[in-house]
Amino acid sequence: MDVAEDSGLTITDRRGEYAATVDQWKVHEFRSAEWAFVGANKTPSGVRVTPETALKCSAFIACVRVISETLASCPLNLVEEMAGGGKRYATEQPLYRTLSRRPNSWQTRFEFVETMTALCCMYGTSFALRVPGRNGAYDQLVPLHPSRITVKQNDDYSLTYLYRQPVTEQQVPYRQEDLFRLSYLSTDGFTGLQPPSMLRDAIGLAQALEQHAGAFFGNGARPGVIFTNDNAMPQEAIERAREQWERMHRGADRAFRTAFLPQGTKPVEISSSSNEQAQFLESRQYQIIDVARYFRVSPHLLQDLTRATYSNIEQNGIDFLTHCIQPWAQRWAGAIGRDLISLTLPDTFCADFDLRKLSMGDSAARTTYYREMLNLGAMTIDEIRAMEGLNPVENGGEARFMQLNMTTVDRIINPPAAAPADEFAPVPTQPVAEDEESSVDSSAGMDEVDESEQAEMLQEDN
């Protein structure tokens, strides 16, 4: 853009350093990468690090990818906490569709969460404009580049966002309720610290080591050469000889060419053991751990399996979910509740990332887990099938099962007293069928005949 000379605009980077007026600098596009010419963001290794140039560091972009892609792969739902306990998916709310299906007209939910998380990892804060439409006040969430937004806190502690439009370069103010803001670690409560700025030296050293390796192998894995001459040579001749040598022999495709030296010139080759003395490979490997430490990403997720074993890699994965992904999920849920849910819905609604599938083990471990949960009555058959991505069964899938020989601890300590039996209680009678009644009558008649015969026999004996 072209800024008027009398606009009175002051150019300041995001940390407040290297302030200048338009009269001193000619500005075209303001992003952190543009400030390299000012001298900011330069590291002791000689490499300037910005959120954009930091992506050239393989360890940094690997951390950004593994965090954003892992979080985006988890379902994001709008749930309502029930009065009697538990929760349900609030599918009838328009915000459910925006969060779980289509945040805007050109991005999927995965792409939106991935983009917002990646921008937050790069700039410390990411923003999305809330656009109302036919589905209500949250019809679309449009990501805005954080390098174009300035956050100011008002006297009443509310926030005002000043956004510089890409085309017109005009500054548009937004209220706090107009934007969705996702912030990283912050010192003022609303502007996140930029990870590339905090990792500037580590990223700069990693990039310097990579540039050194590229230059070394670009010269055919041969170190520099020093030329000595017993005769005095003018400076122009020295520069011309060096340029000719580099033009003829510099680069992997020009290695091992035949050289012709002026009279009296002798080459002195520098030993390549300097890389070993500087522990070049060890330094490159350590920079991976140094960058991963800041993001709390396990090194094996960055393809560094140096210290990974069969016994600890599973625990490292659990630590990654507990100490890295879980805080990011809570950061998202809190931001959604503050900027989206609290404006139109009661406090019983909240956003929830379903992280259960990330902690699922192999088929044998899942089978053991499901069996125990089914025997305890904690899960139904349909719930187990839903975890495996299967449809519910037709009949009986919602029933809960428990073992009959299980009881509570209280009943073991204090067994219930047996109910007293009533000795005068009448004996319940069972209904008798017709054929059974006839048999009973016949048997009763036979009993009466037997008794009369016994009486006659007694009289004869007397």
Domain map (residue ranges) of the chain: 225-269, 360-411
**Res 168: pLDDT:** 86
| pLDDT-derived band at 244, boundaries 50, 70, 90 | confident
Count of beta carbons in the 10 Å neighbourhood of residue 177: 15
pLDDT digits (tens, 9 = 90+) for 264-308: 777 776 665 555 655 767 777 888 888 999 999 998 898 888 887
Region 47-71: mean pLDDT is 92
In angstroms, the CA 37 to CA 24 distance is 13
Q: How many CA atoms within 13 Å lie on the side-chain side of 84?
A: 0
Q: How many Å from the N-terminal Cα to the C-terminal Cα in the chain?
A: 144
**Res 433: pLDDT:** 53
How far is CA 67 from each of CA 113, 135, 304, 320, rounded to the nearest angstrom? 11, 31, 16, 10
Query: Where do the H-state alpha helices sit in 73-166?
Result: 94-100, 109-123
105-109, 146-150, 367-371, 452-456: segment of lowest average pLDDT: 452-456
**Res 219: pLDDT:** 60
Q: Identify which of 130, 127, 132, 178 has the alpha carbon closest to the alpha carbon of residue 148.
A: 127
| pLDDT-derived band at 75, boundaries 50, 70, 90 | very high
**Res 254: pLDDT:** 58
38-47, 348-357, 402-411: segment of lowest average pLDDT: 38-47
**Res 34: pLDDT:** 41
| pLDDT-derived band at 112, boundaries 50, 70, 90 | very high
pLDDT digits (tens, 9 = 90+) for 359-404: 777 788 888 888 888 888 888 888 888 888 888 888 878 888 877 7
**Is pTM beyond 0.75 here?**
no
**Res 251: pLDDT:** 55
**Res 62: pLDDT:** 94
**Res 232: pLDDT:** 78
**Res 260: pLDDT:** 67
Q: How many CA atoms within 13 Å lie on the side-chain side of 211?
A: 12
9-13, 41-45, 164-168, 373-377: segment of lowest average pLDDT: 9-13
